[in-house]
Amino acid sequence: MEKTKQLPHYYAKPTWENNIGYLLYSRRIILPGVSEILKTTKPKTEKQRLINWQKKSRQNSSQSNFSNC
């Protein structure tokens, strides 16, 4: 039975610039962050559901702000 080789370990530093998170590899190569990968691989239906939820929550918050005046 053959042993499988492990992938080489690398260290990528989490970095933020202009409110965008990414990983900076030791050779100054920019890699997408985990959140960015998950966000771009979501199905269109999930993205649309999130957009609808954001719109609804914004409407609710703006209505509650006017009622406090």
Q: What is the pLDDT along the chain (69 residues), one digit of tens a residue?
A: 678 888 777 778 888 888 777 888 877 788 887 777 888 888 999 989 988 999 998 888 777 665 555
Record the pTM: 0.41
**C-alpha–C-alpha distance, residues 43 and 60, integer Å:** 26
Q: How far apart are CA 29 and CA 19, in angstroms?
A: 18
Which residue bears the tokens 């406090």?
68
For 57-67, b/e burial (b = at least 16 CB within 10 A) is eeeeeeeeeee
